[in-house]
Amino acid sequence: MGMSRRQFLQGGALAAAGVALSGKPGEASADAPVTRIKGLKASTTICPFCAVGCGLLVHTKNGKVVNIEGDPQHPINQGALCSKGSSMYQIAVNDKRLQKVMYRAPGSDRFEEKSWDWALDKISMRMKETRDKTFKVNELNKKDNKEYVVNRTEGMAFFGGAGLDNEECYLWAKFARAMGVSQLEHQARL
């Protein structure tokens, strides 16, 4: 039969709409989108996996995610999602997600829970100690045998960013360079 996948899907959608419009209770209309999401709050988002940038709708009730599905108004994916995008709900609701700040002391064989305050104070101290200790003001260029001012923190590197929002990437770059970190790299180099 000379029918493309697209025509087939369009036909399917029309058939499903027919069932819904008939108003007869039955298996097909029990899962009609309108019934399923009634009373829920919806907000839009973009998929966090690949860079196609598919739109999704997040349905919440009393501050909890109850459903996530493709955004039918989004021009790129028109409601469709791949297996990863379809699993977005299990990122939101997942008992393996990290929920606490964890710390592992040197030589220890386990993590222990700490407060944000404690960890952030320690981290900022480590960053300052390393910066102060390894800050390089001048560097010799072997080609012309001259010293140049470089103002770099040699003992610290920052990685990552492809999973951050643009505004986060921006502050990450701003913070890194202010810290004198030249060793700033991320997934785009791999």
40 lines the binding site for other proteins (CB under 8 A) = no
What is the number of other CB atoms lying within 10 angstroms of the CB of residue 108? 9
Element of type H or E holding 21: helix 5-22
11 lines the binding site for other proteins (CB under 8 A) = no
User: How far is the first Cα of the chain from the last one, in angstroms, to the nearest whole number?
Assistant: 45
Among residues 10, 22, 35, 78, which is the contact residue for other proteins, using CB under 8 A? 78
The region of 17-25, 26-34, 130-138 touching other proteins under the rule CB under 8 A is: 130-138
Least distance to other proteins, CB of residue 22, Å: 29
1 lines the binding site for other proteins (CB under 8 A) = no
Is residue 73 helix, strand or coil? Answer: coil
Decide the pairing of beta strands 146-153 and 135-141. antiparallel
Q: Phi first, then psi: what are they for 60, rounded to 5°?
A: -130, 155
Residue among 142, 140, 127, 141 at smallest CA distance from 180: 127
Residue among 60, 103, 88, 79 at smallest CA distance from 12: 79
The region of 13-21, 27-35, 149-157 touching other proteins under the rule CB under 8 A is: 149-157
Least distance to other proteins, CB of residue 33, Å: 18
Residue entry with tokens 């910066």: 131
Choice between 26 and 175, CB closer to other proteins: 175
24 lines the binding site for other proteins (CB under 8 A) = no
* Window 156 to 185, contacts with other proteins (CB under 8 A): 156-185
List the beta bridge partners of residue 148.
Answer: 139
Choice between 22 and 175, CB closer to other proteins: 175
3 lines the binding site for other proteins (CB under 8 A) = no
Choice between 5 and 38, CB closer to other proteins: 5
* Window 79 to 98, contacts with other proteins (CB under 8 A): 80-88, 90-92, 94, 96-98
Is residue 13 helix, strand or coil? Answer: helix
CA 181-186-188 angle, to 5 degrees, is 135
Least distance to other proteins, CB of residue 62, Å: 10
Among residues 20, 22, 128, 145, which is the contact residue for other proteins, using CB under 8 A? 128
